[in-house]
Amino acid sequence: MQRHIALHFEAPATAGDKDAGAKFAGVGYSGGLIPSWNAVIDLASTRVEQSMPVLLAHNKGAVIGVVESADNDGARLALAGAIHSDIDAAACDVVRKSRRGTRYQMSVGLYN
């Protein structure tokens, strides 16, 4: 079964503006079965495109940021990037709630 690891938000891009775009880092996939798809991702053959969109709740219509870097070590897929909390209301809500203690998780999506 996939193990979810909490999404971590870093300080805002501009120290004086708590609503400026925030950076994030986390693990999108840590191995094992993805129950909703009854699938396992073969990380050995997985390539990650740079500048992939970050979707809120896997909703293709809710782009709230961008993946800027990915690290695939064969056992897990770690991602980092920016949340557009300075220009997008849904992204701003995610960052504000996170800073108040709401825990978010990151996971990969499978689309064809």
Does position 81 have pLDDT exceeding 50, yes or no? yes
Reported as a single tens digit per residue, the pLDDT across 27-80 is: 989 888 888 888 899 999 988 877 889 999 989 999 999 999 999 999 999 999
pLDDT of 77 reads 92
Q: Name residues whose C-beta falls within 8 Å of residue 3's C-beta, 6 or more positions apart in sequence.
A: 30, 31, 32
If you search the block for the tokens 């992204």, which residue do you land on?
91
Report the distance separating Cα 79 and Cα 5, nearest Å: 12
